[in-house]
Amino acid sequence: MNQLSFLAARGNLIHVTIAGQGSPLILLHGFPLDHRQWLPQLESLSAHYRVIAPDLRGFGRSSLNEAGYTIADLADDVEQVRMHLAADDPLALCGLSMGGYVALEYWRRHASRLSSLILSNTKPDGDSPTALAARQAMIDSAQQHGSWEAVSPMLTKLLTQTHNEAHGELFDCVQQMLRDCSIEGLVAAQQAMSGRTDFIASLPAIQIPTLVITGEQDSIAPPAATRKWAAVLPDGQCHVIPGAAHVTPLESPAEFNRLVHQFLSI
């Protein structure tokens, strides 16, 4: 596994972890996570692909020079990553939850670069008024009490109850990512997600092969709602992983990797 950083828009240093050789597969993490959520994919899928896992602005080791970015800015950062590391090879782009919002925006802006899309534990619609209020409440909580206080209640949604109670390696890994999330990173990401585009009406226009995955116990991207929007994709397939919640690539790495490899090798 190699690590490198390069300068992207607005002087932000984007940190990228890379493993393997072959066709490029870029993996975009969720909130408030970083490239470590993809460790099992960096380890295993790298036997077949050039796996590229950036830390999005303000997460992991990537910097955040100015607050106030949009999901479109993150999609353009991904385009910088592609230009640096994937040249003109057809690109498979995979995003989990917030990473899925970025992947959809990347499709809108740079569709000709994509050979396939993987949308994991995510949703294409915009925020309801309740969701917008919850984002503002999280921002207020982070600014008053710190980021851990604000994000720690998410643990029960990110992992299944079994994983939360086991307090094993997986729990420690996710908890550490939450502890490492900065207040500035949290605020900027919540604001960017609040203003994201609603892609529901655009789904029938996604002509490339698209794999949709969620966890059986995912309350953020629930199976029933996910199956419904995935059915509208012209070349889509949807899988629900049993015994997983929101961070399926970490919770059920073997099944997640099997689905991705099967999809990409068709």
* Contacting residues for 178 by C-beta, under 8 A, at least 6 apart: 32, 33, 148, 151, 152, 154, 155
> Is 71 among the residues that bind ligand MLT (CB under 6 A)?
no
Query: In terms of CB distance, is 31 or 256 closer to ligand MLT?
Result: 31
User: Can you read off the two tokens belonging to residue 143?
Assistant: 């600014």
Query: In terms of CB distance, is 1 or 200 closer to ligand MLT?
Result: 200
Task: Select the residue interacting with ligand MLT from 14, 16, 20, 31 (CB under 6 A).
Answer: 31
> Is 56 among the residues that bind ligand MLT (CB under 6 A)?
no
> Is 159 among the residues that bind ligand MLT (CB under 6 A)?
no
> Is 147 among the residues that bind ligand MLT (CB under 6 A)?
no
Give the total of residues touching ligand MLT (CB under 6 A): 7
> Is 103 among the residues that bind ligand MLT (CB under 6 A)?
no
Query: In terms of CB distance, is 115 or 191 closer to ligand MLT?
Result: 191
Query: In terms of CB distance, is 220 or 232 closer to ligand MLT?
Result: 220
Cα-only R_g, the chain: 17
**The amino acid at 53:** A
CB of 123 to ligand MLT, least distance (A): 8
* Contacting residues for 34 by C-beta, under 8 A, at least 6 apart: 55, 56, 59, 60, 61, 177, 180
Query: In terms of CB distance, is 239 or 246 closer to ligand MLT?
Result: 246
> Is 244 among the residues that bind ligand MLT (CB under 6 A)?
no
> Is 193 among the residues that bind ligand MLT (CB under 6 A)?
yes
